[in-house]
Amino acid sequence: MKKKLQIPLIIAACLSVFCLGFLLAGMTIPRSFDSLPQKCGIMPPVQSSKSIGIVHEGTYPGFADTPVTAEQAAPGRRVLYALNQQKYTWAFPLLRPRDGGIAIYEMTGCSPEYIAYWDGKYLWVPKDFEGPWTGYAPTSPKELDEALRTAK
């Protein structure tokens, strides 16, 4: 009876080690901001102390009668540039965002769509419209923090 179970148990152990390797590889691969899941949230995950709005040139956010100019869109482009300059790895799943961070939203229509939240250490992106947020660790948190704190 022992010999009959030994081979399937060895196969199951090898498969579990193989699957665990794929899971860890997926968690440690550095990704750019554009390759992170691009969902929009209705609200930031926790209370933020600052919000940064991103508007695109030529659009009419909210109930605006005039399109956004290049000067008005420049701060949002700088924020997106700062986010895209970093590489991100998946943060430990049991971590939660801290209060007092920076909420980053995009104005595409009448209401803002939150695309990210920076808590000073991790960048959080929404998994779903009203669902949980996933944390990612940037390669240089100090540079990203400085760029987001100085954005107007």
CA distances from 67 to 4, 55, 63, 78 (A): 73, 10, 10, 19
pLDDT, tens digit (0-9, with 9 covering 90-100), for 29-58? 888 898 888 788 888 888 888 999 998 888
Per-residue confidence (pLDDT) for residue 89, from 0 to 100: 92
Residue that the structure tokens 């956004």 belong to:
68
Positions of the chain with pLDDT lower than 70, given as ranges = 1-2, 13, 16-28
pTM of the model: 0.79
Which pLDDT value is given to residue 94?
86
Write the DSSP assignment of 8-46 as a string of letters.
HHHHHHHHHHHHHHHHHHHHHS-B-GGGS----BSS-SS
Cβ atoms of 41 and 97 within 8 Å: the answer is no
Maximal CA-CA distance, the chain: 80
Q: For 115, list phi and psi in degrees, rounded to 5.
A: -105, -20
Predicted pLDDT at 24: 59
